[in-house]
Structure formats: structure tokens, C-alpha cells
Amino acid sequence: MAPKRAPLLLLLLLLLLLLLLLPLLIPRARAAANPDPAPCHPDDLRALLAFAGNLTSAADALLWPSSPPPPPGAARGTAFPATPAAACPHCASRPEASRARSRPRRSRRSRSSGTSTSAGTRSRAPSPRPSPPCQGPSAPLTSPPTSSTARFRGPLPDHLDALDASNNSISGPLAPDLCAGAPALRVLDLSANRLAGALPSSTTPPPCAATLRELSLANNAFNGDIPAALFDLTALRKLSLAGNRLTGPPHPRLAGLKDLTFLDLSGNRFSGDLPDAFGGLTSLENLAAHSNAFTGPLPPSLSRLSSLRVLDLRNNSLSGPVATVNFSGMPSLASVDLATNQLNGTLPVSLAGCRELKSLSLARNSLTGQLPQDYSRLVSLSMLSLSNNSLHNISGALSVLSACRNLTTLILTKNFVGEELPDDGVVGFGGLEVLALGDCALRGKVPKWLTQCKKLEVLDLSWNQLVGTIPSWIGEFEYLSYLDLSNNTLVGEIPKSLTQLKSLVAVTQSPGMAFTSMPLYVKHNRSISGRQYNQLSNFPPSLILNNNRLNGTIWPEFGNLRELHVLDLSTNFISGSIPDSLSRMENLEVLDLSSNNLSDPKWRAVLTFSNSSFEGNPALCKASSCNPILSRGTPRDTDVKPAASSIRNRKNKILGVAICIGLALAVFLAVILVNMSKREVTAIDYEDTEGSCHELRPVDVSKFKGSRDLISWVLQMKSEKKEEQIFDSLIWSKTHEKQLLSVLETACKCISTDPRQRPSIEQVVSCLDSV
């Protein structure tokens, strides 16, 4: 075989192996078995069985067109199987507590009728005494709509109140007679299924038009426009169409749903202007239409939503001034998110009248001007993101916001370009936990007023023009776990106090809020999506000081930072040796010491990170070549020239190594897919999952260098017989437990540090064949 074709063949073999393993490594997780229910009254058992015995084809009665009933003895639909007595030996529960679902969900009840359903139906049967709830067998709905009988027969509930068939696998379209057979239906939840097609349209109102209060069709695959018939449901209070493929502008008849308190149109393909039809929805409390393609100005009628508490229109293409809306007409507002649009003008002064406002995001727009002085009256404000605008006067902004005593998160990235960062004279911010002033080209020093921020957990001053040294008092922050001072002009030694940061030495409990309503994100760069961290306790502990002019040595005390995940000291003037103590940083995942003046010929024996972590240190690479590290404990191929007679054996060995690597990668990829979502760390943005970005840090910090911790953890779990914890719940299955453990065992042997423990090609093939 020509040498140039060998790498291509090996690559093809690896891809083939991964494809062969995918069906094994990614099975569907089985629904978890429900715990044994408590015993209940025999009368309830008889009532439930009598009712369930007359059910056919699950929720088909309410969702799909009916047809003549099947002949006696015909098999019933499998979507909602009746509950045989043998399947529930302890009880069959009070009927209104019976479920045929794979996961618990709080049921909805009617005060008048007392009847509700969850993934089926519930009815009230007479009972002389209260009975504890009892769950039937777990059976998620999976059958598609059927043309067989889809009607209830026999003793039906007098007042069917609610149907909850959410979080199943129901497929097919909805029928025009949406709630036929249930004229008293008040709650219908079909969210998180596989329903598709256009929403049903009818010229006559459905039977439940006067009673239906809550309708959720979210997270399906419906398409087309919203039909006018939907607005015949004039009693609706909650309507969710989120997460579908609906198009066109919302219908003007939306204004007729005057009892709405909750409206969610987010995550669709709506376009055009938002209709100026909100004036009559005076009861509306939650309005979400984010992640669509809406254009045009903000509707002025929003100003008349006096009960509104949550307004979320982020991630659209809305334009024009924000001041189009008079926010003082919405005194109950608690959260406003208009991020990632094309809004312009100045910050609306009318927001200052929203005394209950807790979260405000206007990031990624084209806003100009200064922060209004009246914003100092936002006494409830805890989270503010104004990143990626063109605001100016940072001194004035800090002065205004210092009066917001409840402020915990402040994101001002990419504003105040070229201004002077005040060093002192700023009073307040005692409760601040997250501060991002990155990519502002600010001049000055690391400000002294930060010493007041005793609760600070995340500090980002990257990509500015800060000079001077890193102050030693930063090491006194008890809760600081993320520090980014990269891409400045800082000089001097790294303060030794940074090696004593308490939250990086040991796990500490933050006194502040652990949950944020606007997710913190970690990103590689400006162009790709990141990893979400809703809880600060899960945020990646990082120390990022790259691209400065720091000198001195790496303190041996850095080894004490056992909770640190990212250490980036690259592109500085750091010299000396790499201390052996760094090997004690058991949680370290990303290490970058490249482009310095380090010199230690024994660094390979200390660390197991890739060579890119150390390249650009001339003395270091001269003493010990920075070529890729090969198998531990084995001679390099270039050390000995192979004889002609050994070429075939060598090819077989290479093929065996390739398959071993492919097998190991296949297994660990399945594990890493979940772990990396919590552990992969680079640049930070303050972003929502649909793309709204409130940047903490918008640029590259480093590439992922390797993870010793993940591999050692896998080996530890294996040694402790806790293999189930290694796999994600979507991969692990008792049905394939033996096969998964066999593949994991072979993969672990392939990455053994002892070459004698690594299997040969014949052994790998034999293992795969047995699986």
C-alpha cells in the first residue's frame, strides 16, 4: 500500500467503526419504573376498571376523527392501554389519580367537576373514605392517530375536566373537532409530542369554546398560519404555541381573547410586524414571542398591558426606538427581555417607573446615549444586561447603578469604548456577584472600588487597555471563582494571593442567588453557540490571565487550587520551571502555558496535557521535543528503522491501534457529550438558548486542551462498580447493560498506560464480535 494512502484508509476504518457502534451506544432510555403505590380502597379499584374497560385508543376520542367502533374482541389501541387488575396488584388508585405516563406531572383539577386526566382521562367515583393516590403501569403514548374507533363508550365521567397527554410520542394531525365529546373540557395539554400538520380550522366554534381555559400545543411540529377558528376559544386564559413551525403574522383576532393571562408564541417562524392588538388584553401577565422573525416597531398597545409581569421579545428583528412603548403603563413588570433585535435610540426613561422590575436585558441592539439618572429608582433590579450597544459615560452609569442595592449581575460588555475606568469614587455594589466589563477598550487600572464587592463570584475585565499590576487584594475575595483579566497590558508578577482564592482551594457556598433567569454562557468565539450555566455553582472555575506582560515564575502554590478547571497563562513573559505541584490540580481540564519563557526538561513527566499547552517556549521545547507524545512506555517509530519482514506486522499493529483509538473515542464520546456540556470552558457570554447574547466575554480564551480528570473519573467509577453513572441516561439501558459494559471494558484497556495491557487487533475484533 502506498504510504500516502495509509492515513486515509485508517481514517475510513475509524469512521466505519464509529458507525457500527452508534446503534449500540445511543439506545433510547427506557422509562424509569414507578415505585410501588400505596394500597387504596377496593371500591376505587372497581370504579377505575369499569371506566378503563370502556376506553379505546387513548386520547383519540378528543383529538382525531371518529369511525365506527371495532367488533367485539378487537384489539384496542396501544396508545393508552387499559389497566388490567394484574398490572396493579396493590390498587388501581382513586381514578382521578390514575396515570399512564412515564414521568410524574401535577394534575389539573376543576373546582366544579373534580375531574381531570393526565395522558388519558380521570373521573371521580364515589368513595366512602379518602384514598391515597396510586399510579398505574408506566406507558408513554406512542401510537399514531388511528382510523379505528376513537370514542368513549359505557359509563363516562359526567364532566370531563382536563386532558394532559404531554411529553409522549403522539403523532399525526389534529382533527377539526378538537374537543368533540368533551364539551366541558377546561384544560387540554398536548405539548411535547410529535403532532404535525396545520392547526385545525373550522367554520363553527368547537363544543368546548365556552369552557376551555388552558390550551398547550407547544413543542410539536405544527406548521402554517394560526387559523381564525382558534380565536373562537374566547374563554382561553393560557395559550402556548411555542416550539412549532408556525408562520405568518399572528391573527388580528388575537385581541378578542380578552381573558388571556399567558401567551407564548416563541420559537416559531412568525414574521412581519407584531400586531398592534394588545390593548384589550388587560389581564395578560406573561407575553413571550421570542426567537421568531418579527420585524417593525414595538406595538404601542403594549403600553396598556397594566397586568403584564413578563415581556420576552428577544431574538427577533424588531426595529425603531424602544421609547415607542411607555413602560410606565406596566407597573407590575418584573422581567423585560428585548435583546438581540435592531432597536435603536436611547434607553427608555419610562422603565424607571417599573418599581418591581428585577431583570432587564436590552443587549445586542443599537442603543446610544447614557444610562438615565432615573434608573437609580429601580430598587428591585437584580440583573441588568446592556452589552453590545453604543452607550457612553461609564462613570455616570456606575454612579446611577450604585443606588440599585439589589443588583447582583451587571453585564456591560462592548460599551463605553475607549473611556477611562474610574479607579475610586464609586460607592455601592456590595451585593454584586457577576461583573462583566469586557471588550470595552477601557483605560486605567484594575479599580480599587471593586474591594467593596465582597460577594463577587465572576469578574471579567478582559480585552481592555488596563495597565499596572494585578492587585493582591483580588485574592481576598472569598467567593471569586472566575477571573478573566486577559488581553490587557498588565505587568509584574502574578500575585501569590491568587493561589489562596478560597473558592478555588475548596468548594465554598455562595451567599447569593445560585440561579439566574438569564443564563450564563461559555463560548469559544463570537460565531458559535456556547454552554449554558444557569447556576453559578456550576459555572467553570477559571483563572485567565493570558495576553498580558506578566513576568516572574509559576508559584508552586498553584497546586493548591484543586477546584480550578481552567488555567491560562499563555502569551506572557513567565519564566522558570513548571512546578511539580500542578499535578495536584485534580479538576484541571484546560491548561495553557504556551508562548512564555519556561524551561524545564522534565515537564513531560509532570503533566499529561497535549503539547499545544506548552508550545512557544523555546528553552522548554529545545530541552524536550514538543512533537506529539506517542504511547507511554513504548519506543517511538522513528527510533528504529523497521526491517522489510516486519512491515506486515507493523501495519497490523497500526490497524489495531487505530481500532482501539476508534473504540475508545466512541465510548468516551458518549460520556463526554454530557460532561462537556458542564465542563467545557473557554470564553463567556451571557446568552439565552435561542441566541440572545449578553456577553461577558466575546472572544477566544483557549482551545480545549485535554481532560485528565474525565478519564480518571471513568476509571474510578468502573473500579467502584458504578458504571451506570458513567453513561448519560439517554445511553444507559438495562436491556443493553452487558453489551455497554463489554465495550467500556475494551475501551478502558485500549487507553491503558501499560502497553502490555492493551489488546491486540484480534482481541478487539473478538470483543466486538461477541457484543
Amino acid 414: pLDDT: 96
Helices 647-679, 761-770: axis angle to 10 degrees equals: 60
The CA R_g of the chain, rounded to the nearest whole Å, is 31
Specify the pTM.
0.68
Locate cell 463526554: which residue? 672
Which CATH code, of 3.80.10.10, 1.20.1260.10, 3.20.20.60, 2.40.50.140, is assigned to 249-380?
Answer: 3.80.10.10
Contact 430, 537 (CB under 8 A): no
Amino acid 357: pLDDT: 97
Which cell goes with 340?
438581540
Which cell goes with 419?
473611556
Contact 182, 62 (CB under 8 A): yes
Contact 265, 289 (CB under 8 A): yes
Amino acid 99: pLDDT: 32
Residue 492 Cα to chain centre, angstroms: 39
Residues 410, 403: Cα–Cα separation, whole Å: 13
Q: Which backbone phi and psi does 650 adopt, to 5 degrees?
A: -65, -40
Amino acid 70: pLDDT: 37
Contact 418, 392 (CB under 8 A): no
Candidates 451, 330, 427, 338; CA nearest to 384 is 338
Instruction: Name the residue ranges covered by the structural domains of the chain.
Output: 38-123+148-194, 249-380
Which residues of the chain are modeled with pLDDT < 70? 1-158, 177-178, 508-538, 601-607, 621-713, 716, 720, 722, 724-725, 727-736, 751-758, 761-762, 766, 768-771
Residues 602, 583: Cα–Cα separation, whole Å: 13
Candidates 441, 484, 496; CA nearest to 460 is 484
Residues 205, 441: Cα–Cα separation, whole Å: 61
DSSP string over 266-333? -SSEEEEEPPS--TT-TT--EEE--SSEEEEPPPGGGGG-TT--EEE--SSEEEEEGGGS-GGG-TT-
Bridging pattern class, strands 531-535 and 693-694: unpaired
Amino acid 623: pLDDT: 53
DSSP label at residue 355: T
∠ at Cα 760 (756, 763), nearest 5°? 120
Residue 194 pairs with which residues in a beta bridge?
171
Cα distances from 554 to residues 397, 486, 504, in angstroms, run: 38, 17, 17
Candidates 701, 684, 702, 681; CA nearest to 693 is 684
